[in-house]
Chain A
Amino acid sequence: MEVETNTDMSFILQKLKINSEKKFKHQRIGLEIKQSIKFYLSPKNKQIKTQYSHIYYMRYLNLAKRFQINSEDSQFIELIQKIQNQQGTIKAIGTVFKEMKLKPYYFCQNQNKSLQDYVSNEDVCYLEDRSGRVKLQINNALLCLPNKKDKIINVSDLVTGITLMIEGQIVANNIVKVEKFYLPILPETPMLKQLNSTSYLCLISGLNYNALESTTKYRHMIDYLQGNLYSGEGSEIPYQISQVIFLGNLYCKLEETTDQQILQQDFKGLYNKLQLNIKGVDELISQLISVTPVAIMPGVNEPVSQMLPQTPLHKSHFPETFDKSNQLVFLTNPTEFTLGDIKILGTSGQNIQDIKKYSLVKNQEDVDILEMTLYYGHIAPTAPDTLISFPQQDQDPFVLQELPNIYFAGNMQKFGTKMVTDNVRIVSVPAFSETGTICLINLNTLECFPVHIQ
Chain B
Amino acid sequence: MAEQDDDVGAIFDQQNIKRIYEEQQRMEAKFKESGWQLFSRSPPKINSSKPLQFMQLECDYYTQGQQSVIRMFGVTAEGNSILCHVFNFLSFFYMQAPVELLLEPQHIQQFQKEFNVLLAKQKNFGGKEPILKIEVCQKESIRYYKGDNKKINYLKIYVVQPVYVAQIRNFLKSDNRMVCDMELPQLTFESNIPYALRFMIEYDIVGMGWIELKDYVIRDDQNKISSCQIEINVDCLHVKSIPLDEKSDIAPLRILSFDIECAAEKGFPNEEHDPIIQIACIVKVHNRSEELIRVVFTLGDCEKIPGAWVKSFQKEEDLLNEFQVFFSGLDPDIIIGYNIQNFDIPYILNRAHNLRLKNYGIFGRIPTTQSVIKNGKFLSKAMGMRETKDINIEGRIQLDMMIHMMKEHKLSSFSLNNVSFQFLKQQKEDVHYSIIYTLQNKSPETRKRIAVYCLKDAELPILLMDKLCCLYNYTEMARVTGVPINYLFMRGQQIKVASQLLRKAKHYDFIIPTEHFKSTDQEYQGAFVLDPVKNFYKVPIATLDFASLYPSIMMAHNMCYSTLLNTSPNKVGLEEEQVTISPETNAIFVKPNIRKGMLPLILEDLINARKKAKNQLAQETDPFKKAVLDGRQLALKISANSVYGFTGAQVGQLPCLEISASITSFGRQMIQFTRDTVLEHYSKKNGAQFDAEVIYGDTDSVMVKFGDYSVEQAMALGREAAALISKKFIQPIKLEFEKVYFPYLLMNRKRYAGQLWTKPDKPDKIDTKGIESVRRDNCFLIRKMVTEILYFLLIKQDEKSAVQYTKEQIRNLYLNKVDISELVITKSLNSKKEDKDGGKDKDKKKNQNEDDGNKLTKNYKQKQAHVVVAEKMQNRDASNAPSAGDRIAYIIIQGAKGSKTYENAEDPVEVLEKDFPIDFDYYVNNQIKKPIMRLFEFVIPNPESIFVGDHTMSRYIPKVNINSALGKFVQKRTACLNCKKVIKENEALCNFCHDKTLEIMTKSSIKLQELQINYHKYWTTCQSCQGSLLGDILCSNRDCEIYYKRIKVQRDLKEQWDEIDKLYAQQQ
Say whether A317 contacts B998, CB under 8 Å: yes
Quick check: which of B168-176, B638-646, B655-663, B1016-1024 contacts chain A, the rest being far away? B1016-1024
Does B1054 count as interface, using CB distance less than 8 angstroms? yes
Does B571 count as interface, using CB distance less than 8 angstroms? no
Known contacts A48-B1057, A264-B1007; A107 and B427 CB within 8 A of each other? yes
Q: Find residues 138-163 in chain A having any chain B CB closer than 8 Å to their own CB.
A: 160-161
CA of A97 to CA of B1053, assembled, Å: 27
Quick check: which of B12-20, B298-306, B872-880 contacts chain A, the rest being far away? B298-306
CA of A387 to CA of B1061, assembled, Å: 23
Residues of B within 8 A of A421 (CB): none
Residues of A within 8 A of B1054 (CB): 46-48
Least distance between B1040 CB and chain A CB atoms (Å): 9
Does A83 count as interface, using CB distance less than 8 angstroms? yes
Residues of B within 8 A of A391 (CB): 1019
| Count, A-B residue pairs, CB within 8 A | 144
Say whether B425 contacts A129, CB under 8 Å: no
* Interchain CB contact (< 8 A) of A132 among B305, B997, B1005: B305
Does A384 count as interface, using CB distance less than 8 angstroms? yes
Residues of A within 8 A of B957 (CB): none
Say whether B1006 contacts A52, CB under 8 Å: no
Q: Find residues 105-144 in chain A having any chain B CB closer than 8 Å to their own CB.
A: 105-108, 128-135
Quick check: which of A195-203, A302-310, A357-365, A410-418 contacts chain B, the rest being far away? A302-310
Quick check: which of B182-190, B619-627, B1029-1037 contacts chain A, the rest being far away? B1029-1037
Say whether A81 contacts B1023, CB under 8 Å: no
Least distance between A135 CB and chain B CB atoms (Å): 8
Say whether A51 contacts B1033, CB under 8 Å: yes
Say whether B306 contacts A133, CB under 8 Å: yes
Residues of A within 8 A of B1001 (CB): 303, 314, 316
Known contacts A48-B1054, A263-B1006; A306 and B998 CB within 8 A of each other? no
CA of A43 to CA of B1060, assembled, Å: 11
Residues of B within 8 A of A108 (CB): 425
Most A CB within 10 A of own CB, among B308, B427, B1028, B1029: B1029
CA of A267 to CA of B1007, assembled, Å: 10
Known contacts A264-B1006, A314-B1067; A306 and B1012 CB within 8 A of each other? yes
Known contacts A46-B1054, A48-B1057, A316-B1067; A260 and B1009 CB within 8 A of each other? yes
Does A229 count as interface, using CB distance less than 8 angstroms? no
CA of A83 to CA of B998, assembled, Å: 57
Known contacts A83-B306, A133-B306, A384-B1020; A51 and B1032 CB within 8 A of each other? yes
Known contacts A60-B1030, A305-B1012; A134 and B307 CB within 8 A of each other? yes
Known contacts A52-B1023, A133-B306; A95 and B1030 CB within 8 A of each other? yes
Does A22 count as interface, using CB distance less than 8 angstroms? no
**Residues 69-84 of chain A, each 1 if its beta carbon lies under 8 Å from chain B, else 0:** 0000000000111111
Does B784 count as interface, using CB distance less than 8 angstroms? no
Residues of A within 8 A of B1031 (CB): 53
* Interchain CB contact (< 8 A) of A80 among B306, B1008, B1012: B306
Does A271 count as interface, using CB distance less than 8 angstroms? yes
Least distance between B558 CB and chain A CB atoms (Å): 50
Q: Find residues 50-91 in chain A having any chain B CB closer than 8 Å to their own CB.
A: 51-53, 56-57, 60, 79-84
CA of A81 to CA of B1002, assembled, Å: 49
Known contacts A314-B1067, A388-B1012; A303 and B303 CB within 8 A of each other? no
Residues of B within 8 A of A260 (CB): 1006, 1009-1010, 1013
Least distance between A250 CB and chain B CB atoms (Å): 14
Q: Find residues 1027-1068 in chain B having any chain A CB closer than 8 Å to their own CB.
A: 1027-1033, 1042, 1050, 1053-1054, 1057-1058, 1060-1061, 1064, 1067
CA of A82 to CA of B203, assembled, Å: 55
Least distance between A77 CB and chain B CB atoms (Å): 11
Residues of A within 8 A of B1018 (CB): 106
**Residues 170-188 of chain A, each 1 if its beta carbon lies under 8 Å from chain B, else 0:** 0011100000000000000
Residues of A within 8 A of B425 (CB): 107-108
Say whether B1029 contacts A97, CB under 8 Å: yes
Residues of A within 8 A of B1064 (CB): 314
Does B1003 count as interface, using CB distance less than 8 angstroms? yes
Say whether A274 contacts B1012, CB under 8 Å: no
Residues of B within 8 A of A51 (CB): 1019, 1023, 1032-1033
Residues of B within 8 A of A385 (CB): 1020, 1023-1024, 1029
Say whether B997 contacts A306, CB under 8 Å: no
Does B999 count as interface, using CB distance less than 8 angstroms? yes
CA of A442 to CA of B1002, assembled, Å: 37
* Interchain CB contact (< 8 A) of B1030 among A48, A53, A264: A53
Known contacts A46-B1057, A129-B1030, A132-B305; A106 and B1019 CB within 8 A of each other? no
Say whether A388 contacts B1013, CB under 8 Å: yes
Least distance between B303 CB and chain A CB atoms (Å): 6
**Prevailing SS type, chain A contact patch:** mixed
Does A25 count as interface, using CB distance less than 8 angstroms? no
Most B CB within 10 A of own CB, among A52, A97, A384: A52
Which B residue sits closest to A305, measured CB to CB? Answer: B1008
CA of A83 to CA of B305, assembled, Å: 9
Residues of B within 8 A of A105 (CB): 1021
Say whether A275 contacts B999, CB under 8 Å: yes
Say whether A53 contacts B306, CB under 8 Å: no
Which B residue sits closest to A104, measured CB to CB? Answer: B1017
CA of A306 to CA of B1001, assembled, Å: 15
Q: Find residues 296-329 in chain B having any chain A CB closer than 8 Å to their own CB.
A: 303-309
**Residues 383-412 of chain A, each 1 if its beta carbon lies under 8 Å from chain B, else 0:** 011101101000000000000000000000
Least distance between B997 CB and chain A CB atoms (Å): 5
Say whether B1050 contacts A49, CB under 8 Å: yes
Which A residue sits closest to B1021, measured CB to CB? Answer: A106
Known contacts A84-B307, A316-B997, A317-B998; A133 and B1027 CB within 8 A of each other? yes
Say whether A173 contacts B307, CB under 8 Å: yes
CA of A224 to CA of B1002, assembled, Å: 32
Does A101 count as interface, using CB distance less than 8 angstroms? no
Say whether A133 contacts B1028, CB under 8 Å: yes
Most A CB within 10 A of own CB, among B307, B997, B1015, B1057: B307
Residues of B within 8 A of A106 (CB): 1017-1018, 1021, 1042
Residues of A within 8 A of B1013 (CB): 260, 306, 388
Residues of A within 8 A of B1057 (CB): 46, 48, 305
Does A33 count as interface, using CB distance less than 8 angstroms? no
Known contacts A107-B425, A278-B998; A81 and B1029 CB within 8 A of each other? no
Known contacts A107-B425, A303-B1002; A79 and B307 CB within 8 A of each other? no
* Interchain CB contact (< 8 A) of A53 among B308, B309, B999, B1029: B1029
Say whether B1033 contacts A53, CB under 8 Å: yes
Least distance between A353 CB and chain B CB atoms (Å): 16
Most B CB within 10 A of own CB, among A264, A271, A306: A306
Say whether A307 contacts B999, CB under 8 Å: no
**Residues 289-327 of chain A, each 1 if its beta carbon lies under 8 Å from chain B, else 0:** 000000000000001111100000011110000000000
Known contacts A47-B1054, A53-B1023; A174 and B307 CB within 8 A of each other? yes
Residues of A within 8 A of B1006 (CB): 260, 263-264, 267, 270, 303
Residues of A within 8 A of B1053 (CB): 48
Least distance between A160 CB and chain B CB atoms (Å): 8
Q: Find residues 925-957 in chain B having any chain A CB closer than 8 Å to their own CB.
A: none
Which B residue sits closest to A259, measured CB to CB? Answer: B1010
Least distance between A21 CB and chain B CB atoms (Å): 48
5 contacts between A and B (CB under 8 A): A131-B306, A260-B1006, A264-B1010, A306-B1013, A316-B1001
7 nearest CB pairs, A to B: A81-B304, A174-B307, A260-B1010, A132-B306, A303-B1005, A106-B1021, A388-B1016
20 further contact pairs, Cβ within 8 A, besides A173-B293, A305-B1012: A46-B1057, A46-B1058, A48-B1015, A48-B1054, A51-B1019, A53-B1033, A107-B421, A129-B1030, A132-B448, A135-B307, A174-B308, A260-B1009, A260-B1010, A264-B1006, A264-B1007, A303-B1006, A306-B1012, A306-B1013, A384-B1016, A384-B1020
